[in-house]
Amino acid sequence: MTKKRVGVLISGSGSNLQALIDACAQPNFPAEIVLVISNNADAYGLTRAKDAGIPAHILNHKDYASRDAFDQAMHQLLELHLADIVCLAGFMRLLSDGFVKNWHNKLINIHPSLLPSFKGAHAIRDALAAGVKITGCTVHFVRAEMDSGPIIIQAAVPVMQDDTQDSLAVRVLEQEHVCYAKALRWLAEDKLTIVGEKVGVSN
């Protein structure tokens, strides 16, 4: 089996990166992580990559004159490592239109809500504030608009009456780890079709 080559972009602790590392460690998994890029030198995800023997690069966005220049540097690194797929795993930078176009239908993201509800960086807080009884997580293909794009998989998480942001986030994260590995498997196995911005999964 020829495994698809994956680049992962991170900014923080990298728990979703770890879930993907664990999935890729399974002998029958159709993808392998060949590169981790972080815009934050202190990201714990860099340690996770190092522990797994995965090449990791720090690209500080502040070292680049523009978002386009930073994204071009990431693009070149991904191409250098012959990446087929790019996964965003807590990457806290908006991507330029050019980067998104370069990786069209090869770039996926995980978000801690049932999109299209509660986009943005405070999805858990916003779900609690809205008083919803169910939230969850979404893996989706990335488009130029933030937290939009064809939805690959979602999981629902009940909101308990006494939930705090922390307690709810823990349960959402558990589902994120499951969903992200599934979505990457399907993408790597070419099981996903997109028609009219809706995703189909073949058996």
- The string of pLDDT tens digits covering residues 61-117 is 999 999 999 999 999 999 999 999 999 999 999 999 999 999 999 999 999 999 999
Which residue out of 61, 75, 111, 177 is catalytically annotated?
Answer: 111
Calpha distance 36→73 (Å, rounded)? 13
Range of the domain at 60: 4-201
- Check pLDDT > 90 for residue 203: no
Determine the pLDDT at residue 41: 97
Residue 1 has pLDDT above 90, yes or no: no
Q: Which of 51, 36, 46 is nearest to 87 (CA)?
A: 36
Domains held by the chain: number: 1
- Nearest to 107, CA basis, from 118, 120, 98: 98
Distances in Å between the Cα of 110 and the Cα atoms of 2, 22, 137, 183 are 25, 16, 7, 10
Within 10 angstroms of residue 160's Cβ, the number of other Cβ atoms is 11
Output the DSSP codes for 2-26. PPEEEEEEESS--HHHHHHHHHHTS
Q: What is the CATH number of the domain that holds 151?
A: 3.40.50.170
pLDDT tens by residue, 141-172: 999 999 999 999 999 999 999 999 999 999 99
Is 57 among the catalytic positions? no
pLDDT in tens, 23-58: 999 999 999 999 999 999 999 999 999 999 999 999
pLDDT digits (tens, 9 = 90+) for 123-142: 999 999 999 999 999 999 99
Tell me if 153 sits within 8 A of 179, measured CB to CB: yes
